[in-house]
Structure 1
Amino acid sequence: MSTVTIEALTAGYGDGAPVLDELSLDVPDGAVVAVLGANGAGKTTLLRALTGLVPARSGRVLLDGTDLTGLPTEDRVRRGLALVPEGRGVVVELTVDENLRLGGLWRHRGAGLRSAVAEMYALFPALHRRRDAAGHTLSGGERQMLALARALVSHPDVLLLDEPSLGLAPLVVAQLLGVLRDTAARTGLTVLLAEQNVTGALSVADRGVVLSLGAVVADRPARELAADPALRHAYLGF
């Protein structure tokens, strides 16, 4: 659906040393790309910089050739980016249904919004069963389902996910990654998936990108990356 191009992106927090150091990466239209690396490698900062939550110090972020670098976060969302942050971010005071309708308001109204929410209930039957439940009553797995559904309900062109499997049971992780894989294959959604669960991420990805100290040290087909023991031991810890 959309191509993301990152050109020599340098970004960080406050006046400290940059976390991303002239990072360049191409994410092709419709690809699922796993962003891997140890804690502190720059995975979260990369996703936050793409959405404008962390400002770029230099370099550019382009979506289908259009420079997004100077745009505020809300404009990037309207142009088709959606972020599922680490920590299963949902509005806990709102119900499941209210969270979904809120997520869809960026790009839908009226019948279009109702249809988009219905799609999410078809994807996640557990959410439909709990549609009137407040966010704070959901289990960890249900909250992550809701966070993913709230991003997908806007029909984004590019989905950015930050550690969606963190703290979840393996069965729930398999379910979430399966929905992600099937949705990307069905819709052509472009996905950047930042994960510590290397095996799970590479099982659904087309490509794997390994970060170290804010720079890309490997960018290869997922199967090749999973089969390279030297690279895994050096940068991924297994």
Structure 2
Amino acid sequence: MTADALLTVRGLVAGYGAAPVLHAVDLTVAPGTIVAVVGANGAGKTTLLRTLSGMLRPSDGQVTLAGEDLRGVAVEQLVRRGMAHVPEGRGVVAELTVDENLRLGGLWRRDRADATRALDEVYQLFPPLANRRRHLGHQLSGGERQMLALGRALVGRPRLLLLDEPSLGLAPRVVAQIMALLRRLRDDTGLTVLLVEQNVRSALRIADQGVVMALGRVVTTAPAARLRDDAELRHAYLGF
């Protein structure tokens, strides 16, 4: 493991059934950084997050979080160790209120006083949720549902946030708000974020490091600013 890494992935192979999607993926995420994983549809980005969060079991490779080997660790234990996953599609429980959805994120925590403080902090981060705390999930706008999914993850006070396509289906103004919030969380709280995002420009604008994937492999890793400025690489793998 790299000495200053929070998350280290080595030789990760995973997929669905007998068909591998990820091929010997290597990845390192330093604490207190945003790492953007970008690439075309079908590159394996979502499969990567699902494997890291325990939704898929890898067939080979190693994943460590703060030096702890995560092989065979159950999903609920990954959450307790500080990993939170906000999947594509937001995952809000439509029949529950905003407040009930948020409280789900802290049910496992033993420190009830701090869980309450975390809930209050989420309402401060997302004023629209505070104004609609008694509304049901299905009554929220797309942007509000994304805020709710993020907020539920943050109530658990994760060390590492895995975030899949937070901009999907949202208006540009809301996308800008979400990206600004991620940068603020990194700067103010030291949250580490592994961000999968089709909106490459927005992702690389806030990220410290960029990882480009193609056909289930990492093809390059570089500072996000360098990826933004490398026209040849953008044209070859990112389509702009």
Do the two structures share a fold, i.e. TM-score over 0.5? yes
Give the gaps of 5 or more residues in structure 2.
none
Where 1:74 maps in the other structure, the secondary structure is: helix
- How many angstroms apart in 1 are the aligned matches of 2:112 and 2:33? 31
1:227 equivalenced with 2:214 (yes/no): no
- How many angstroms apart in 1 are the aligned matches of 2:107 and 2:5? 21
Which position in structure 2 is the counterpart of 1:176?
Answer: 178
Which position in structure 2 is the counterpart of 1:166?
Answer: 168
- How many angstroms apart in 2 are the aligned matches of 1:189 and 1:138? 26
Which position in structure 2 is the counterpart of 1:78?
Answer: 80
Which position in structure 2 is the counterpart of 1:11?
Answer: 14
Q: Please say if residues 6 and 60 of structure 1, whose CA atoms lie closer than 8 Å, have aligned partners that are also in contact.
A: yes
1:142 equivalenced with 2:144 (yes/no): yes
Of residues 132, 135, 138, the one that matches 2:134 is 132
Cα deviation, residue 108, structure 1: 4.9
Deviations 1:86-115 (A, max 9, x none): 001111111000111111123354322211
- How many angstroms apart in 2 are the aligned matches of 1:218 and 1:104? 37
- How many angstroms apart in 1 are the aligned matches of 2:162 and 2:41? 18
Q: Report runs of 4+ in structure 1 exceeding 6 Å deviation.
A: none
Alignment of 1:28-107 (within 5 A): 28-107=30-109
Alignment of 1:186-201 (within 5 A): 186-201=188-203
* Partner AA of 2:156 in structure 1: S
1:2 to 1:89, Cα distance in 2 relative to 1, 3 A: farther
Q: Please say if residues 77 and 106 of structure 1, whose CA atoms lie closer than 8 Å, have aligned partners that are also in contact.
A: no
Q: Which stretch shifts more, 45-54 or 107-116?
A: 107-116
Q: CA RMSD in A?
A: 1.2
Where 2:218 maps in the other structure, the secondary structure is: strand
Q: Please say if residues 142 and 170 of structure 2, whose CA atoms lie closer than 8 Å, have aligned partners that are also in contact.
A: yes
- How many angstroms apart in 2 are the aligned matches of 1:142 and 1:236? 29
1:35 to 1:111, Cα distance in 2 relative to 1, 3 A: same
- How many angstroms apart in 2 are the aligned matches of 1:73 and 1:206? 28
1:226 to 1:23, Cα distance in 2 relative to 1, 3 A: same
Give the TM-score of the pair, scaled to structure 1.
0.97
Give the TM-score of the pair, scaled to structure 2.
0.96
- How many angstroms apart in 1 are the aligned matches of 2:12 and 2:119? 35
Q: Please say if residues 108 and 154 of structure 1, whose CA atoms lie closer than 8 Å, have aligned partners that are also in contact.
A: no
Deviations 1:111-145 (A, max 9, x none): 22211100000000000000000001001010001
Which position in structure 1 is the counterpart of 2:208?
Answer: 206
Q: Please say if residues 2 and 30 of structure 1, whose CA atoms lie closer than 8 Å, have aligned partners that are also in contact.
A: no
* Identical positions, percent: 62
- How many angstroms apart in 2 are the aligned matches of 1:115 and 1:188? 18
